[in-house]
Each structure stands twice: as structure tokens, then as C-alpha cells.
Amino acid sequence: MEMLNVLNAFNAFPLAELEVGKHFYWHIGNLKVHGQVFITSWIVIALLLIASLAATRNMQRIPRGMQNFMEYALEFIRDLARNQLGEKEYRPWLPFIGTLFLFIFVSNWSGALVPWKLIKLPEGELAAPTNDINTTVALALLTSLAYFYAGFSRRGLGYFTKYIEPTPILLPIAILEDFTKPLSLSFRLFGNILADELVVAVLVLLVPLFVPLPVMMLGLFTSAIQALVFATLAGAYIHEALEGHGDEHHD
């Protein structure tokens, strides 16, 4: 009874207005859509589309402006894919790895640069798409499907012999590895972006002027690193699926 009285006292005089796990949903028939992630994801996609159209609208032999910036980004992504997959293998996978990198990079930076919380919603609040575990898990599962497809397209059903090589005793460990890859990808990205936004939010609340700026700059750097790490690991997993189990190495 005393415990119930204490809980009732806290409910009568709440110490904070923050509600954990409250989200804004759209109901389309029987389908429930996560409105916050949907809105910010499409804003990120729109920004990428606008940048691509601006870069290719009036292409010049000597690039400048947005064309120069996008060509630099393409060169960077091409080098990233080539380093992970090799000269002979990277081209078919360049669009996938490039899309992953650009979407995560712009999403992460939007969380650091765009004041999403100023946009009021009926419930919850806007944040970077990668601030939500649903987004990072979806990206990780897409990566898993990609490397399964890569291995299966290269070796057919023989790809699954990797689970019993060099000995069937390792079967449980091989299966567990396929579960840990998407888990580590998704939680690493989600945890870093969420932690960065929480640290900046707390510092802005406590010291609203100059102290948060260095932390925000550090957040931009770590956000870029997280996009690079995710795309690099995706390329490494695809390379492993294409390469392994007796296939000849491709430089």
C-alpha cells in the first residue's frame, strides 16, 4: 500500500513532461505507418534527388558547382566500392553501396544540422531517420539480402556449403554469424546517432550558447564516419559472399 501511495504521488506531480517511446503514426486502412520516419526519410530522399538533378541539369566538360561536388562524391563512393570488392566486381554493386552511403550520410547530417524538434507533431517529434531503430534495422536487413543474393548468384546452392565448411560442427556458429551481422550494423548506427543527438540536446538545455558547438562539430564528423563504416562493412560482406569458399581472388 505504501508503494502504491508513492506511485500515485509521482503520477499526481510528474517530474518531467517527456514521454518515452511515443510516436506519430498514420493509419492507412489496417496498415500503421511510422509517420515521423516516413516524413524525414522522404525529405532526405528529396534532398538527394534535388542534388542529383541540379548536378546533371547542365553538365559541363569542366565540372563546377554542384556538378563538381557530385562528381567528387561519386569518385569517393567508387573508390570505396573498388577497395572492398575489387576492380572486377565493384561495378554491379556500386549503386547499392552508393545509395546506402548517401542516404545514411545525409540522414545523419540532417539530425545534426536540421532543427527537427521545432516542427510540432500531434504526437512524438521529428528526428533523423537513422535515429530510429526501424530504419537502421531495415538498412541492415537490405545489406543481408544483398550479400545472400551475391553469394547465391555466384555459387548457386553451393553457396550454402559455407555453413558446414570445414566441418559441420561449425554450423551453429555460421548461422549465428548471419544474425550478428545485421544486428551489429543496425545497433552500431542507431546507438551512435541517438547518443550524439541526446548529448547535443542535453548540452543545449544546460549551456545554450557556445559549449554545444564543438560537440555538434564532433557529431558531424562521427555521423560521416558512421555512414562510411556502414557502407564499408556492406561492401566487405558482399565481397566475402562473392569471394569465398575456394573462388579465386579478384584484385
Give the pLDDT confidence score for residue 211 in this predicted structure: 58
pLDDT confidence bin for 93, thresholds 50/70/90: very high
pLDDT above 60: residue 28: yes
Give the pLDDT confidence score for residue 251 in this predicted structure: 40
Tens of pLDDT along 196-213?
777 766 766 766 666 567
Q: Which three cell numbers stand for residue 198?
A: 541526446
pLDDT confidence bin for 23, thresholds 50/70/90: low
Tens of pLDDT along 111-154?
777 777 777 777 767 788 888 888 899 999 999 999 889 888 88
H or E element, residue 103? helix 90-113
33 falls within a domain:
no
* 240 burial level (CB within 10 Å; 0-12, 13-18, 19+): middle
Q: What's the mean pLDDT when you consider all of the chain?
A: 78
Inter-axis angle of helices 171-206 and 90-113, to 10 degrees? 30
More confident residue, 204 or 43: 43
Tens of pLDDT along 156-168?
777 777 777 777 7
130 falls within a domain:
yes
197 falls within a domain:
yes
Whole domain around residue 93: which residue ranges? 75-244
60 falls within a domain:
no
66 falls within a domain:
no
209 falls within a domain:
yes
Other CB atoms closer than 10 Å to residue 35's CB: what's the count? 18
Q: Which residue in 128, 93, 127 sits closest to 227, CA to CA? A: 128
pLDDT above 90: residue 98: yes
φ and ψ of 32, to 5 deg: -105, 120
pLDDT confidence bin for 216, thresholds 50/70/90: confident
Give the pLDDT confidence score for residue 97 in this predicted structure: 94
Total structural domains within the chain: 1
4 falls within a domain:
no
The DSSP letter of residue 249 is P
Give the pLDDT confidence score for residue 212 in this predicted structure: 62
Other CB atoms closer than 10 Å to residue 122's CB: what's the count? 7
22 falls within a domain:
no
pLDDT confidence bin for 4, thresholds 50/70/90: very low
Give the pLDDT confidence score for residue 15 in this predicted structure: 32
Tell me if residue 19 falls in helix, strand or coil.
Answer: coil
